[in-house]
Amino acid sequence: MKKITLQSILLCCISFSSNAQWQQSAGTAGLNMQALLTNGNYNFAGGQTGAYNSIDEAGSYTLSNSGNDAVGPTRGFTKDDTYIYTCTSQGAYRSSDNGATWVSKSSGLTNLLGGGILKVGSRLFYVGPTGVFMSTDQGDNWNAAGLTTTDVRSITAINDTLFVGTNGAGIYKSSDWGLNWIAVNNGLNGATNFRAIETKANTLFAAGPTGTGVFRSVDFGANWTLLSGGLAVSSYRGFASNSQLIVAGAFGAGVFYSVDNGDNWIEINTGLTDLTIFDLELNDNYIIAATNTQGVFRFALSNLNLSTNTSDFDVKNTISLFPNPTTNQINVKADSKLIGTAYTLYDNLGKAIFSGTINNENTLLEMGNLPGGIYMLSIGDDLKQTLKVIKE
């Protein structure tokens, strides 16, 4: 299995065409860029001079900052079905017209300086020097959601479990929308500064500080492993991922990608004139990179010759659990294509409680002897789908 993986990666490298290089996006030369977002045909970039927008797949950008923070960096983006949101040095902003105009939405934020912004379900989360804030009304109002004395720099989520990276305190997670947070630092080797954190399906990737690299967790943050396999030892600042690959950006070492969930990495830096990467994004056809001093670059995904194999069955929306909450048994109703698929039940700390196999379209799991609380049921290879189970 290992030989096949390494050979596939080698063939991928050999088959790069002579045009397999980064192209600088017009309109961004000489700019500091720190954040990226794709929303359909729109590609957003943000940095020291505000927000920019592209309608040609990141080929070129124009300033799109009317009403947005004009005195400090735009450090993050997120979106829902109605709005685009920014995280800036002057708080949160919202746009209803794909960046043509922005409106300040910072009521309730005790410190406007933002480190990251994220939509999870119907909630928005904003992180900064005074912790985590949550909005349930699309940014009109914000309320404290924990870690009020902690400088929080990044945020991600697996379903409705939140994970944050901090400046000086490592990584925390919450399964109750910020009411309670627990440190999940086992395996981080003393590293405490994490400026980016990413989820690829149910695998977590955390961007370590100078002298480390990228850490990975496959058990909801309970344990972390420092990755190698071709990654430069550096400080990392940004990620992007889809079902086929994970991409990581380093401070001074450029961009690396992996097609095997982080086991092995390939450097792709040809054409980059600035190797300090602050964020990464993927649209349908390109990897997009935000750099410290030379703006935005794009790299065609077609250069990577990624597999188009669809044999990995997407289990999303093919599983239901009932009753949930439960007091004894829980029934897992699954698509017939999932018969024979492995599952594992984890507690809130990421400890595996029991494992088994989906044996028919209705599989009963006994939970009567377990203490009350929140559990995570992961189904599929590489933890492809996770569902929350509440035991009363």
CA geometry: angle at 133 spanning 119 and 71, to 5°?
85
Give dist(CA 144, CA 135) in Å, integer. 9
pLDDT at 279 exceeding the cut of 70: yes
Residue 230 has what pLDDT?
95
Give dist(CA 22, CA 269) in Å, integer. 7
Give dist(CA 109, CA 313) in Å, integer. 42
pLDDT digits (tens, 9 = 90+) for 350-385: 788 998 888 777 888 999 899 998 888 888 754 457
Q: Give just the sign of the alpha carbon dihedral 257, 159, 120, 113.
A: negative
Q: Residue 385, class by beta-carbon neighbours within 10 Å (0-12 exposed, 13-18 middle, 19+ buried)?
A: buried
Encode burial over 88-118: b for 16+ CB neighbours within 10 A, e otherwise: bebbbbbbeebbeebebbbebbebbbbbbbb
Residue 2 has what pLDDT?
34
Domain(s) labelled CATH 2.60.40.10 in the chain stretch across 319-391
3-class DSSP state of 8:
helix
What's the CATH number for 20-303?
2.130.10.10
- Assess contact for 255 and 249: CB atoms under 8 A: yes
pLDDT digits (tens, 9 = 90+) for 177-216: 999 999 999 999 999 999 999 999 889 999 999 999 999 9
**pLDDT average, residue stretch 230-241:** 96
Q: Which CATH number fits domain 319-391: 2.60.40.10, 3.80.10.10, 2.160.10.10, 3.40.50.300?
A: 2.60.40.10
Residue 84 has what pLDDT?
98
Q: How confident is the model at residue 307 (pLDDT cuts 50, 70, 90)?
A: low
Residue 338 has what pLDDT?
78
Q: What is the pTM of this model?
A: 0.81
Domain(s) labelled CATH 2.130.10.10 in the chain stretch across 20-303
